[in-house]
Amino acid sequence: MCGIVGYIGKQKAAPILIEGLKRLEYRGYDSAGISIIGKNKITTIKSVGKVSSLEDKIGGKSIAGNVGIAHTRWATHGKPSDKNSHPHGDCKGNIFLVHNGIIENYIELKSSLAKKGHKFKSETDSEVIVHLIEEFNKKLDFKNAVLEALKLIKGTYGLAIINKKEPEKIIAARLGSPLVLGIGGDEYVIASDASAVVRHTNQVIYLEDGEVAVIEKDNYEVTDIKDKSKNKKITKLDWSIEEAEKQGFDHFMLKEIFEQPKAIEDATRGRLVVSEGTAKLGGLRDVADKLRKLDRIIIVSCGTSYYAGLVGEYMLEEYAGIPVEVEYASEFRYRKPILDEKTAVLAISQSGETADTLEAIREGNNKGAITLGIVNTVGSTIARETTAGVYNHAGPEIGVASTKAFTSQLSVLILLTLLLGRQRQMSYVMGKRIASEMKKIPKQVEEILSQSKEIKKIAKKYLKYKNILYLGRKYNEPIALEGALKIKEISYIHAEGYPSGEMKHGPIALIDENFPSVFVVPKDSVYEKNISGMQEIKARGGKIIAIATEGDKEIKKHADDVIYIPKTLEMLTPLLSVVPLQLLAYYVGTGLGYDVDKPRNLAKSVTVE
């Protein structure tokens, strides 16, 4: 959730840390802070609000020092305030740290430390860690003090720690919260993810749970918590800083919406085999025999990824003939899931670090299931801990509200459906038809994007409403749910996604002239059923925006506004129907004056339970 960054090298640390925080701000923006080791002192500056507020507070000050840490916060323990902002310091101002995660036993640790004379300044769980290190540092060196403190902590953490007594050193540690170490020629950057590293180097190592990195100006070492040395593989990042820039768009979200034709193409490039009516997924090659023997698939995910899983359920059951369940990852391990070697637990996660989804995968591993991943971030924890998987290759997604990651997830699920379907009963003719139509999707998405000005005009008409109902059926029921989530996330309008067939069983009571609906109603097998639902709404005075198939003139009799999508196969319509809903949400959010890249109370990657 929170973003942490540390720098050690020959350059001034402060500008690099501030720039890194800006790239990590999508992880949290309740407050921000920075600590720099200078000559015989540590300078710490904090501010409530976004990183820009911290930058304003620093002003023209030149903070000397080549070693430092910084933090942008998503509040868990304690409201956003200067005292609760990171970095947190010890009693004497010698040790400072930044923390991403939750310390579950902080109350008992805090009580014990208070009895020993430690004075606490914040309401956070994080501050306990720095005082614990301080206590051990009375008798042990910096590194061993950290190691001993970590042995007493229960919970999750990504940590970067500095100590005035050993000024040319940063210690980083990970348990459940991601950390990546960027390795430059004469500098190192430690961060929550690669977006804060890639400007300086494309050579990185990913810390695993239970690992500790001691980073100095000319070298680094990685050990476990018992100080046993670890050999770490250096990974080369496959994307550049330019991919994480806005490139002329007003917001990252809009840029990423417009990147979807490329994201879909990249997800399928080299994998979609039209001539054979199938897909080739190299990441699943080693488990091909196990996939043939599957009795069922359980998809685990959260948020937007969960809705991608719901679409995948329709695809896999209809075309691959495999029973599929879709579970909220946050609930999965708290049940008693019945798993075996003929069950696949498929995790879908943009970041590959979602704590709930990771724990669901670990539950699957523990119980002997095949674990698979659809992940966007190369080298992420879920990618490493699953048996096999497929990367989206969508590139960095900075906007908190997911757009291109969602459509790339759908693209991979279509490929998976082709692969598993052709292993089973799917005919060559059907496989080739799906693959051929899939090839057309990027161009069809471009056609929808060309209507953005018209969609903006429609959005303007609906800025005054406080509630919206999103409705769809079959493949597009999850798209209704996703459309409602998007507008909730970035415009703060109450929206509810619902299966259109269930509307008459309760939600229709809400409909009046002040409660509009968005109907996802392409020309598909449930078209007539959806038209009946639209008529029920119109009979009660409700306004309707329809997402309909090109050439459908009949729909104008039932809707106040229509946005058209190109014709495609029913199973592929979600890739098209979601795009106007993303644009609609974007233009409503910006029309109301909100920063849609940083919606309130949200963070991009949820790395705490």
83-94 pLDDT, tens per residue?
A: 888 999 999 999
3-state secondary structure of 321: coil
Report d(CA 52, CA 21) in Å as an integer. 10
Q: Tokens for 418?
A: 């082709």
What is the arithmetic mean of pLDDT over 41-52? Answer: 89
pLDDT at 77 over 80: no
Mean pLDDT lowest for which of 12-26, 217-231, 284-298, 483-497? 12-26
Same domain, yes or no: 79 and 211: yes
Confidence band, pLDDT 50/70/90 cuts, at residue 30: confident
Q: What is the mean pLDDT of residues 317-329?
A: 96
Last residue of a domain, one of 446, 470, 502: 446
Q: If you count them, how many residues does the chain have? A: 609
Strands 544-549 and 561-565, how do they pair? parallel
Q: What is the pTM of this model?
A: 0.77
> Rounded mean pLDDT of 200-229?
93
Q: Which pLDDT value is given to residue 337?
A: 87
Mean pLDDT score, 194-211: 90
Per-residue pLDDT at 605 exceeds 80: no
Whether 416 is covered by a domain: the verdict is yes
CATH assignment at residue 463: 3.40.50.10490
Compute CA 270 distance to the chain's CA centroid, rounded to the nearest angstrom: 25
| Average of per-residue pLDDT across 160-182 | 94
Contact at 8 Å (CB) between 355 and 156? yes
**Residues 517 and 484 reside in one and the same domain:** yes
pLDDT band at 239 (very low <50, low <70, confident <90, very high): low
- Of 424, 446, 468, the residue that ends a domain is 446
| Residue 609 placed within a domain | no
Average pLDDT over residues 398-423: 95
Q: Is the pLDDT of residue 452 over 70?
A: yes
Nearest to 354 by CA among 180, 209, 190, 177: 177
Sign of CA dihedral 471, 475, 478, 484: negative
Q: Is residue 344 part of a domain?
A: yes
- The mean pLDDT of 531-559, rounded to a whole number, is 94
Average pLDDT over residues 73-91: 84
Dihedrals phi, psi of 537, to nearest 5 degrees: -70, -45
Please report which helix (H) or strand (E) contains residue 548, including its range.
strand 544-549
Residues 267, 381 within the same domain: yes
Q: Do 379 and 477 belong together in one domain?
A: no
For residue 605, tell me if it sits in a domain.
no
Q: What confidence score (pLDDT) does residue 373 get?
A: 96
For residue 61, give its domain range: 3-237
pLDDT at 608: 52
Any domain includes 230? yes
Residue 241 has pLDDT above 80, yes or no: no
Contact 207, 174 (CB under 8 A): yes
Asked if 504 contacts 512 with a C-beta cutoff of 8 angstroms, the reply is: no
Sheet with strand 88-89: strands edge to edge: 88-89, 95-100, 157-163, 169-175, 211-216, 220-224
Q: In the beta sheet, which residues pair with residue 155? A: 103
| Residues 50 and 182 reside in one and the same domain | yes
Report whether 395 contacts 269 (CB < 8 A): no
Query: Which has the higher per-residue pLDDT, 237 or 115?
Result: 115
Average pLDDT over residues 186-212: 91
Q: Are residues 434 and 472 in the same domain?
A: no
Check residue 481 and give its pLDDT. 97
> Does residue 242 carry a pLDDT above 80?
no
The predicted pLDDT at position 244 comes to 65
Per the structure, the count of domains in the chain is 3
pLDDT of residue 497: 95
Say whether both 164 and 276 belong to one domain: no
Residue 381, exposed/middle/buried by CB under 10 A (0-12, 13-18, 19+)? buried
Provide the pLDDT for residue 377. Answer: 83
Per the model's pLDDT, the better-predicted residue between 63 and 8 turns out to be 8
How confident is the model at residue 609, as a pLDDT?
Answer: 53
Report whether pLDDT(291) > 80: yes
Assigned domain for 601 exists: no
Per DSSP, the three-state class of 445 is helix
- For the cut 60, the answer to whether the pLDDT of residue 607 exceeds it is no
- 360 plus 332 within the same structural domain: yes
Establish how many alpha carbons lie within 13 A of residue 486's alpha carbon, considering only the half-sphere containing its beta carbon: 30
Q: Enumerate the active-site residues.
A: 2, 604
What is the distance of C-alpha 548 from the center of its chain? 30
Joined tokens for residue 313 = 């359920």
Report CA dihedral (56, 57, 60, 66) to the nearest 10 degrees. -110
Instruction: Express as a percent the part of the chain with pLDDT over 90.
Output: 76
Please tell me the number of Cα atoms within 13 Å of 142 on its side-chain side.
22
Verify that 138 and 260 share a domain, yes or no: no
Of the CA atoms within 13 Å of residue 404, those in its CB half-sphere come to 27
Give a yes or no: residue 597 inside a domain. no
Model confidence at 178, pLDDT cuts 50, 70, 90, reads confident
Task: Identify the CA nearest to 141 among candidates 171, 100, 116, 172.
Answer: 171
Same domain (yes/no): 478, 442: no
Q: Does position 246 have pLDDT exceeding 70, yes or no?
A: yes
Q: Are residues 329 and 229 in the same domain?
A: no
HEC assignment per residue over 211-259: EEEEEECCCEEEEECCCCECCCCCEECCCCHHHHCCCCCCCHHHHHHHC
Mean pLDDT over each residue of the chain, to the nearest integer: 92
Question: Considering the domain boundaries, does residue 166 fall inside one?
Answer: yes
pLDDT in tens, 340-357: 999 999 999 998 888 899
At 97 the pLDDT is 96
Domain boundary among 237, 269, 294: 237
**Among 22-26, 243-247, 367-371, where is mean pLDDT lowest?**
243-247
Question: What does the block give as tokens for 521?
Answer: 């109603």
- Residue 90, domain CATH: 3.60.20.10
Shared domain for 319 and 363, answered yes or no, is yes
Look at residue 507 in the predicted model and tell me its pLDDT: 85
CB 490 within 8 A of CB 252: no
